Structures are given as structure tokens and as C-alpha cells.
Structure 1
Amino acid sequence: MNSIPSTHITLALDAGQTGVRTLLIDGDIRSLKQFPGVKTDRALFPQLAEYITTAVEGVNKPVSLSIGMTGLTAAQSKPADLLNLLPAIVRNVSLAHDSITGYLGALGTQNGVVTAVGTGVVTLGVGDTEMVRIDGWGNLIGDAGSAYWIGRAGLEAGMRVYDGRIASSSLLSLLTENFSHPEEAYIELQTSNDRVAWIASFAQRVIELAEADDEARRIVNGAGQELALSAVTAAERVGLLDSDSPRFSWVGNVMKAEMLKDAFVSAVVKAIPHAQFVTALAEPIDGVALLSALPETSPLRASIHSASRH
């Protein structure tokens, strides 16, 4: 990744439900900060404005702001509205869905498919002339294979064990170790303001238990297959199957789990034997910093929303 000229400061913000990170880049100097995740039941831009204002405290040069965020809707794709809430030192803003910035962090401007797995999941495929987004439709009707998907499946299996509907499984421990009354777990979850992130947090434990538990292993392998289905579909839709070795990559801490990654890779290879798997070039937040420098010819350009002060 090229450094930003010192006459110009870039602030990159990567916003998700679990956490928000900001990266302030001034030449070769990089300053990273961590904030709580965005609340989907509250107005988005005031939350982001608070984090951005904190991140630029003490800065005395003009700032170019780039944002990658989860759950970006058409109604929220109005960067001028956000710019009006920010300190005057922020001169312009580029706003994109985190599937775009995750892709840029992983593959830069190369064609390929990137699967971004966190609390939710979204897959982006980019070909010579077009791009496609697969899934990322939220925990109620999508996000197959995500941390939420894995955590919820683990909790559901735990309740099945508790009821005696399936054979004994260590997944029961998700309930007994985290809820004083397992029969009331669903009430606690439903009434929690952070229920999506809370449920997603159980994914790591499900993955750990999968080393010795058949039911947990079935869930993790199922997640890998779901992620692969989205990736293969993306490659097909943007015409990558005709290339010699279509690139596939991934971002997100969930994919650091070897069992999940192996299940994903195996399922992709089964469908596309000539697939090439590429280690991400950088972190998603580095992809956020590239938004404003994306070539005009890129199929991703149409999905970036920008505004500047007059």
C-alpha cells in the first residue's frame, strides 16, 4: 500500500456492528483507534460523526475521509449529510459498503472474489466490466456462514441437547456456562440491545468445540460450504470461470479458524478445480484508505458515494 502524501491526511473508518476502527494516515505515520460497534437501532451518521470527531482531534491539516461500513443502505448513501455533521477540517468523504473496502484490502484492483466474514458476511466478485454482491442480507434473511450464523446454530443445537432432541453434545455448554437458567436464554437474547453481536460471539467457542464434537463440526463445515456457495456464485456471475486461475480470498477473524477455512477451500475447489487462493494483501481498513484512489475504470467505482465541501 502506498503512503499518503504528507500535505494530505487520510482518515479511514471501518464500521461494523461488533466494532469500529479508524486509521489516521499522515505520510508514513499511522494512528489506529478502536470504538464500539454501530447500533442499528439508532441513527447512523451521528454515531459515526462522534467517532470521526474524536479521531481528528489535534489534527491541523485538511482531512480526506473514507468510510467502509456494514449494512449500507440507499437511504444512508448520502455522504453530504454526514459531512455536515463533521468538523470543518474534514474536506471530503467517500462512502462505500464494507464489501467494497474488504475487497480492496484483500485483492486491491485485481479481479477475483473476496469473502468478508465477521458478525455478518458478504461476498464480492469483480470481473473486467462488472461486479456482483452475494449475500450480506443481514441476520434475519441472510449472512449464511457468518459468525452470527455459526453462533446461532451452536445455541440452537445446545437447546436441542437440553431438550433431548439430539444426542449429547458439548454445545450444551454454550448455555450452561453463559446462562444461569437455560430455559430463559431466549428471553435474555431477544431483549438484549446487543443480541446480534452477542450471538455472533459464540462462534469462536463453537469452532473450538468442533475439534472434538460431531455436531459442532457439522455446523462449522456447513458454514464453510455456505461461504463457498456464495463465492462460486459470485465468480460465475462476473465471468471469472473462464479465466485460467480465478482468484479467491477472504478477510475477517472468523476465517482464521483452520477448520472453517479448509471447509471453504475444499468446497470451492470441488466446484472450480482451477481456483487460486490468495492471502489478503492487507487489512480491510487499508482497503478503506484506497477508496478515493480507485481508478475511474474500476467496476467498483459506481458503488462509491462521495461529497466535498464547497
Structure 2
Amino acid sequence: MLGIDIGGTGSRAAVEPLDGAFGEGRVLIDGPPVSVSGDGSSALSVARELIERARGAAAGHAAGAGGAPGATAPRIAAVAIGATGLASLVANPVTSIAALSDAAGGAPVALAIDALTAHLGALGGAPGAVVAVGTGAIALGTDLREIWRRVGGWGHLYDDRGSAAWIGIEGLKAAIMAHDGLDRGASALLSAAESRFGPAPTWPGQLYTRDDRGAVLAGFAADVSGLAELGDAVSVRIMSTAGTLVAETLVAALDPALPRRAAGVGGVFASGKAFTEAFRAAFARLAPDASLVTPAGAPLDGSVRLARLVAIGGVREGHPPFLWR
């Protein structure tokens, strides 16, 4: 089976035997990030590329494990793809499923928004709410049957609160304030931004014209979080605000009909204590009767779980705009 996770700063695929234990014999393949242009998202093109590479990797792995030269490559039993922007930046995801299935040798294919595969990875199929925070930020509260509550994930122009792209934007806003002499306290962020992007007057030309603008902004989040860890006051404020905003998004996804169980996944959760402490404090304040659980796995694990469900007949139909089958 093949699980694929596609995000704003990169993508990964996991090939795994259907008849083994979860995670056993897994082969990982790295891929490119999504870009967004006037034609929409490149997510499905990235997915097709990863499917083709995964088929080759599976064949090579089987041969390396003792398969006879020239033997038939392992058959892909099912493919599940979790991708950012499927619900809003891909005109009609279901129209691409046939081509993706062809690329996978005729295997059944499921497409899911990244929040769903993050949910399956973090809670392993149990009901509750999960927030995924990487380049963007999106939460999903669901029981995977009747309740589907999405919060966030509308893109870095006017949402993705607390995400890496949001942090990068806030860092650049502070740097511009310092450059213009409006906030001398942000001089460290100005220096970091100039080191990464060059002189401030060149920033609009570099950023406004790029298809991967979200990923570039998210890259600057690493500088902001690094300065926060060193105690830079403006950076600490940005990271703490990000943690609070992500907690608000997660709590909003806790539908009253769901168990009060929640988790957070994504790279921003590894960005340092300013973010994580603010996140936990805000969650406890906003949802004192709910529990934060340690995620069972990452979004890629959720894609593999979904592929297994598809392979054994556990997912026979889609549930747009969350899942297309």
C-alpha cells in the first residue's frame, strides 16, 4: 500500500506491505512541495510523480530483499493521498482519481484533505479533534462518520493562523517596522530577514511573484523561532501568539458531539517553548474539560492508515469536501 503526504514545504510517500504490521518494512520517498499558481495547486501533479517513484522504489526494495532478477514488481493494493489545498485550490479532485489510479497500476485511490490524514495519524481512527500546523494550519473534528467540523486552512493571505507561513509574515512585518524606524525592538528580526532575503527593498519582488510564496514565508519562521529561543522579545511575542491562535483553532474544532479529546501535529510544534507553552496554556483555559493527547503518529502515518482501509474495503465511498474516493 502507498500513503502520500503533500505539504507546502515538501512531500513524502511511504510504501508498506499490506500483510505486515503497521510501519513494518516501510520505504520512504521524499518529494517536492506544492506550488500555487493561477492554474491552482500542483498537489495532484506531485502525487502522480510520487506514485511513479514509489512503484520503482517498491520494485527495487523487493529485489534487494532477495527477489529474483526480472521478477514482477509488487502490486500496489491501494493509494491514499493527503494534501494541502485539495478542497479549495483543486477545481474538482475526483476528476484526477482515474489518472492517479492508472499511474498506480490500477490500484484504488483515495484523496483526502491534509487535516483528515493528520487526524488519522494522530488519533489512529478515534473520534476527536486534531490541528495540523506546518506551512499552513487547519483543524478537523470528526468521528469519521457523521461529524465533520473543519476550522482554518484557508491559506496564508487571510488565515492559517499560527502556522509557519503566519509566523514568517509576522516576522517580516516586524522587520519592516524596524527598517522604517517604527519599532527599534525588532532589529534582530530585521537582521535575520536581511540575511535570508537581502536588502528590504528587494523583498516585494522576491515574494509577491513566487508560486511557492507560502513555503518561502514558512522558511523564515525558523529564524523567528530561533530568535525566540534566544530570548528576543518580539520573536517570543510572535511565537507565543502563534501558539495561542493554534489552540483557539483546535478548540473550535471540538464539536460538542465529539469526545473531548484533541491533539496537535506538524513541524511548528517543534519550534520551541514559546509556542508550545502558549498553546498548552490557551488550550487548558479555553477547553478545561478536554484532554490533549500525545499524537500516535504523523500525517504520513495517517495516509498509510487510509491506504490500508481502502485496500481492505473499509472506505467504499467518498465524503467531499474531506475525502474523495
The aligned counterpart of 2:7 is: 16
1:92 aligned partner: 108
The corresponding residue for 2:149 is 132
Q: 1:129 to 1:194 in 2, by over 3 A?
A: closer
Residue 56 and residue 273 in structure 1: after superposition, are their counterparts in 2 closer, same or farther (change >3 A)? same
Secondary structure in 2 matching 1:137: coil
2:233 matched residue in structure 1? 214
Counterpart position of 1:3: none
Distance 1:53 1:162, change over 3 A: same
Q: Which residue, 113, 116, 123 being the options, matches 1:107? A: 123
* Distance apart, 1:284 and its partner CA: 1.1
Residue matched to 2:197? 179
By how many angstroms is 1:222 displaced? 1.1
1:150-206 deviations in Å (ceiling 9; x for gaps): 011001101101111113321112222123322222222222332221111011211
Paired AA for residue 250 in structure 2: A
Q: Is the contact made by 2:93 and 2:111 (CA closer than 8 Å) also made in structure 1?
A: no
Give the aligned partner of residue 189 of structure 1: 207
Write the letter of the residue equivalent to 2:28. Answer: L
**Which amino acid in the other structure matches residue 250 of structure 1?**
G
Comparing 278-287 with 180-189, greater Cα deviation is found at 180-189
More off after superposition, 260-269 vs 205-214 = 205-214
Match of 2:291 in 1: 276
Q: Return the match for 2:281 from 259, 262, 266.
A: 266
Task: State the secondary structure of the residue aligned to 2:205.
Answer: helix
Q: Is the 8 A contact 1:144 1:226 kept in 2?
A: yes
- Structure 2: gaps spanning 5 or more residues: 60-72
Query: 1:296 deviation in Å?
Result: 6.1
Instruction: Pick closer, same or farther for the CA change 1:228–1:119 going to 2, 3 Å.
Output: same
Equivalents in 2 of 1:192, 1:94: separation in Å?
A: 30
Q: Which residue of 2 aligns with 1:61?
A: 74
The TM-score, its normalising length taken from structure 1, stands at 0.86
Hey, what does 1:31 align to over in structure 2? 27
2:67 is aligned to: none
* Higher normalized strand content (fraction of residues): 1
The one-letter code matched in structure 1 to 2:214 is V
Distance 2:211 2:201 in 1: 20
Q: For 2:86, what is the secondary structure of its paired residue?
A: coil
CA distance in 2, matches of 1:90, 1:25: 17
Q: Deviations over 1:17-67 (max 9, x none)?
A: 211101000233110010111222265433321221111016323211111
Distance 1:296 1:62, change over 3 A: closer
Question: Superposition pairs for residues 289-300 of structure 1, below 5 Å?
Answer: 289-292=304-307, 293=309
Q: What is residue 243 of structure 2 aligned with on the other side?
A: 224
Q: Is the counterpart of residue 48 in structure 1 residue 47 in structure 2?
A: yes
Asked if structure 2 preserves the Cα contact closer than 8 Å seen for 1:125 and 1:238, the reply is no
Report SS of the residue matched to 1:138: coil
The farther-off stretch of 115-124 and 187-196 is: 187-196
The one-letter amino acid of 1:229's match is E
The secondary structure found in structure 1 opposite 2:108 is: strand
Equivalent-residue separation in structure 2 for 1:78 and 1:165 (angstroms):
51
CA contact (8 A) 1:175 1:185 kept: no
3-state SS, counterpart of residue 103 of structure 2: coil
CA deviation after TM superposition for structure 1 residue 14, in Å: 0.6
Report SS of the residue matched to 1:201: helix
Q: Identify if the C-alpha distance between structure 1 residues 260 and 77 changes in structure 2 by more than 3 Å, giving closer, same or farther.
A: farther
Q: State, as a whole percentage, how many aligned pairs show the same letter.
A: 34
Q: In 2, Cα distance between the equivalents of 1:103 and 1:205?
A: 28
The normalised TM-score by structure 2 is 0.82
Q: Distance in 1 between matches of 2:35 and 2:194?
A: 28
Q: CA deviation at 1:132?
A: 0.5
Q: Number of residue pairs matched? A: 291
Rounded to whole Å, the distance in 1 between the matches of 2:99 and 2:151 is 27
> Contact conserved, 1:154 with 1:174, CA < 8 A, in 2?
no
Q: Unpaired runs of 5+ in structure 1? A: 1-9
What does the per-residue CA deviation read over 1:128-156, in whole Å, with 9 as the maximum and x for residues that have no partner? 84120100001112111100000110011
Q: What is the aligned partner in structure 2 of residue 249 from structure 1?
A: 263
Letter paired with 1:24 = V
1:223 is matched by which residue type in structure 2?
A
What code does the residue aligned with 2:197 have?
Answer: F
Q: 2:223 aligned with 1:205, yes or no? A: yes
